[in-house]
Amino acid sequence: MSTLVRISPAEAHAKMTAEGFTYVDVRTPEEFAEGRPAGSINVPLGDDFVPAMEAKFAKDAPILVGCKAGGRSLRAANALIAAGFTNVLDQRAGFDAARGAFGEVTEPGWSRAGLPQDAG
C-alpha cells in the first residue's frame, strides 16, 4: 500500500509540468467552474468518486488531488490509496488556501500562489 504524501501548490505544479501528473480537482462542478488549476479535470468527491476514478485512470497513473483548502482532497487521496492506487499525491492548501481556527490563511493555495489557472 502507498503512503500518503502531501505537497505544496508549487510542488504540485512542478509535478504536473515535469512528471506528467494529472491534477484531479475534487470540488463541486460549481466551484470548479469558478476557477481551477490550468489543465485540471473535475471528479467531485462523493459516493461514486472511487468508481469514477477507476473508470478514468489505471491504478498506477500519476494522480494529484486538490480541492479548495485541503480537506476534501485529503479524504480523496486516502480513498484512492485504500482502493489500490499507487501513485497519488495530495496538494495541501487547495485552490484557495489552508486556514487556521480563526480563518487566517496558514498556507496559500494554488490561486494565491499565482500559479497558472483556467477560468470558467
**88 burial type by CB count under 10 A (0-12 exposed, 13-18 middle, 19+ buried):** buried
Asked if 37 contacts 119 with a C-beta cutoff of 8 angstroms, the reply is no
Q: Is 67 a catalytic residue?
A: yes
CA atoms lying within 13 Å on the CB side of residue 108: 8
Query: And the C-alpha cell for 53?
Result: 476514478
Helix-strand-coil split of the chain, %, nearest 5: 30, 25, 45
Return the amino acid letter for 56: K
Q: Of the residues 24, 50, 67, 80, which is catalytic?
A: 67
Q: What positions carry a catalytic annotation?
A: 67
